[in-house]
Amino acid sequence: MKSMNRREWLKSTGKIAATVAVAPLVFSSMAHAGTADSLQSKSSVSYQDHPSGKDMCSNCMHFVPGASPKVDGTCKVVAGKISPHGYCFAYTPISG
């Protein structure tokens, strides 16, 4: 077995540490990138078909509207058809 000097040992240890630190980030982003599996279920975000006060899906940045304002749309976070008058814990108001 070849002996390592201090400089070689530090370089190899640094590379291993960097790989270990970055690997989970790379693999988790690859696993969730744009897949339907990455969407939350309605029950996991406590989705309801009615608003919570003035907070409703049509005012949320994650809502993707349907063909008209009264037709169900979809969501970037929650799976399934989403009412424009619905609400869930993923609600994030549109800023502006």
- Please tell me whether residues 5 and 21 are part of one structural domain: yes
Tokens of 25: 């980030």
Phi and psi torsions of 61, nearest 5°: -70, -15
Q: Angle CA(28)–CA(31)–CA(36) in degrees, nearest 5? A: 130
**Same domain for 43 and 26?**
no
Q: What is the pLDDT of residues 61-75, one digit of tens each?
A: 999 999 998 899 999
Tally the domains of the chain.
2
Do 31 and 44 lie in one domain? The reply is no
Q: Which domain, by its residues, includes 19?
A: 1-35
pLDDT tens figures, 45-64: 999 999 999 999 999 999 99
Indicate if 44 and 29 belong to the same structural domain.
no
Distance CA 53, CA 21 (A): 43
Q: How confident is the model at residue 87 (pLDDT cuts 50, 70, 90)?
A: very high
Q: What is the pTM of this model?
A: 0.61
- Does 72 lie in the same domain as 57? yes
Q: 1-60: per-residue pLDDT in tens?
A: 678 888 888 888 878 877 777 767 665 544 554 455 689 999 999 999 999 999 999 999
Q: Are residues 13 and 1 in the same domain?
A: yes
